[in-house]
Structure 1
Amino acid sequence: MIKNITDLKKADNFFLLAGPCVIEGEEMALRIAEHIVKVTDRLGIPYVFKGSYRKANRSRLDSFTGIGDEKALKVLEKVRQTFDIPVVTDIHAAQEAEMAAEYVDVLQIPAFLCRQTDLLVAAARTGKIVNIKKGQFLSPEAMRFAAEKVVEAGNDQVMLTERGTTFGYQDLVVDYRGIPEMQSFGYPVILDVTHSLQRPNQTSGVTGGMPQLIETIAKAGVAVGVDGLFMETHQDPSVAKSDGANMLKLDLLEGLLEKLVRIRKSL
């Protein structure tokens, strides 16, 4: 079981955070985890299962937010125990940190909340690995200060995630210069491939996406030397209850990872 960042970087490969956007139920989570574990074990990719126990940032009031906090967290725990793998989930308020930390190995700070001092400090004090997503509105340089808040609160287990930068009202772009920039701070840097392809602020009130570019974005990230990749995946993104527009279909993951491993080995 991976307990710290050193464990994630032991393999001569990138590591992977992947899973559904939100926990929709136990069966779907276990099936997704089982599939990815088989693939990553074969390819020698350190793997962390990702699933949000609740989605707090939704475009519309009637958007799906989860199956219930405790129920979803217990699903994450079931995944963790069944496959002996670490799990990551995001938290949205300081009081959630201690609760979520009982079930997961990595606490993720959403991009829109990356400057929230109370949230960062609360996550730090759990002793868990803290993955901070870079705000769509921030420069890579500014993420140094978010990381320092966690370290100064007594926890040096910090990772930073690039997830695209706002470009106009309805688009994001990835500035790959930010990856080595953030790596220079001394923390592992992850590329969130699927969220970087979101098309926010659609008139329908549901975020759009460009999943056809997942392979392009991921290949470029690995070529630049990113430490880890983050991808949301689902058996059938068309019926996913959150972020289906930019998720990778589960049965496409293995072929993509095979290509990415070849790129990594060529560096």
Structure 2
Amino acid sequence: MISIPKLKHADSGNFFLMAGPCAIEGEEMALQIAEKIKDITDRLQIPWIFKGSYRKANRSRLDSFTGIGDEKALRILQKVSQQFEVPTVTDIHETSEAAMAAEYVDVLQIPAFLCRQTDLLVAAAQTGKVINVKKGQFLSGESMKFAVDKIVESGNPNVILTDRGNTFGYSDLVVDFRNIMAMKAHQVPVVMDVTHSLQQPNQTSGVTGGKPALIETIAKAAVAVGADGLFIETHPNPRVAKSDGANMLPLDQLEGLLQKLLKIRQAIAA
């Protein structure tokens, strides 16, 4: 595991977790989710990074929720980090956002659709932050070598790769677990984005669908094949979440899921 400031339980031998809401909807909601996840991960000794997007740039419709304001949301992420002593991760979408977001968070995330954008990868690398690059839905695990190279050759060795499935037809994704092993061959930590891989994008309604009933299935398989980390978006009430509610895990189900996943982790380590 690469070094991430404020990451607790990094020597526990467990997988690490990136978890939180899809988008920062407000301070109270973010703090509520963070407090719950911190309690769970401390008891289970799971390294945890709080996830929250300060802005949602990739939306199906013009009237879709995009955020509460960049600085306001970033300050909430900063407060979560300070109050709970946990590292945070958020997406960036343009080169100009890299330095701005880096002032508030510990990990910068490159969205899957942007993983080939050289200028964006270089700008992120130059902040010196840990960079989490999501594998494009249109790419193989092997081809993510070039994203790693762009960041490392820009002077930053702190790279994480995350799989989130591959496009299957027009409105579905499938997970090819061979990609976990292919990306681990690049000598970087590899994460399975469990919830986004269960999206059903490009619905005629303009609202992305999902198959949250399969969260446990995808997560179990990812741990079994050796994923270093899991990415799980969670919310107290996904039905009212302002972004990606169709594929998020209800917050009250997180602990039970993690307990099952730890048993698999312990089994494969034996």
Q: Give deviations 1:220-244, integer Å, cap 9, x for gaps.
A: 0000010000000000000000000
CA distance in 1, matches of 2:125, 2:96: 12
CA distance in 1, matches of 2:141, 2:53: 25
SS in 2 for 1:190: strand
Contact 1:164 / 1:175 at 8 angstroms: preserved in 2?
yes
Partner of 2:85: 84
Partner of 2:14: 13
TM-score normalised by length of structure 1:
0.98
Contact 1:5 / 1:129 at 8 angstroms: preserved in 2?
no
CA shift, 1:3, in A, is: 2.6
CA distance in 2, matches of 1:151, 1:144: 10
Contact 1:39 / 1:254 at 8 angstroms: preserved in 2?
yes
Partner of 1:104: 105
SS in 1 for 2:180: helix
What pairs up with 1:8-47 in 2 under 5 angstroms? 9-47=10-48
TM-score normalised by length of structure 2:
0.97
The question of 1:149 aligning with 2:150 is answered: yes
The question of 1:228 aligning with 2:220 is answered: no
What pairs up with 1:182-201 in 2 under 5 angstroms? 182-201=183-202
CA distance in 1, matches of 2:94, 2:252: 34
CA distance in 2, matches of 1:72, 1:138: 31
CA distance in 2, matches of 1:127, 1:223: 32
The question of 1:250 aligning with 2:257 is answered: no
Contact 2:93 / 2:120 at 8 angstroms: preserved in 1?
yes
Give, as a single letter, the amino acid of the residue that structure 2 aligns with 1:154: G
Identity of aligned residues (%): 71
Give, as a single letter, the amino acid of the residue that structure 1 aligns with 2:200: R
CA distance in 2, matches of 1:144, 1:134: 10
CA distance in 2, matches of 1:36, 1:257: 11
Give, as a single letter, the amino acid of the residue that structure 2 aligns with 1:200: P
CA shift, 1:256, in A, is: 0.2
CA distance in 2, matches of 1:6, 1:25: 24
Give, as a single letter, the amino acid of the residue that structure 1 aligns with 2:67: G
What pairs up with 1:256-267 in 2 under 5 angstroms? 256-267=257-268
Deviating 4+ runs (over 6 angstroms): 5-8
Give, as a single letter, the amino acid of the residue that structure 2 aligns with 1:218: A
Partner of 1:127: 128
Contact 2:18 / 2:231 at 8 angstroms: preserved in 1?
yes
Contact 2:6 / 2:87 at 8 angstroms: preserved in 1?
no
**What value does the CA root-mean-square deviation take over the aligned residues?**
1.3
SS in 2 for 1:52: coil
Q: Give deviations 1:166-202, integer Å, cap 9, x for gaps.
A: 0000110000011011101100000000000000010
The question of 1:217 aligning with 2:222 is answered: no
Contact 1:90 / 1:108 at 8 angstroms: preserved in 2?
yes
SS in 1 for 2:191: strand
Contact 2:107 / 2:130 at 8 angstroms: preserved in 1?
yes
CA shift, 1:22, in A, is: 0.3
Contact 1:5 / 1:157 at 8 angstroms: preserved in 2?
no
Contact 2:20 / 2:52 at 8 angstroms: preserved in 1?
yes
Residues matched between the structures, number: 266
SS in 1 for 2:79: helix
Contact 1:4 / 1:157 at 8 angstroms: preserved in 2?
no
CA distance in 2, matches of 1:8, 1:200: 35
In structure 2, list runs of 5 or more residues that go unmatched. Answer: none
CA distance in 2, matches of 1:73, 1:27: 14
CA distance in 2, matches of 1:192, 1:35: 20
CA distance in 1, matches of 2:235, 2:24: 11
CA distance in 1, matches of 2:5, 2:222: 23
In structure 1, list runs of 5 or more residues that go unmatched. Answer: none
SS in 2 for 1:121: helix
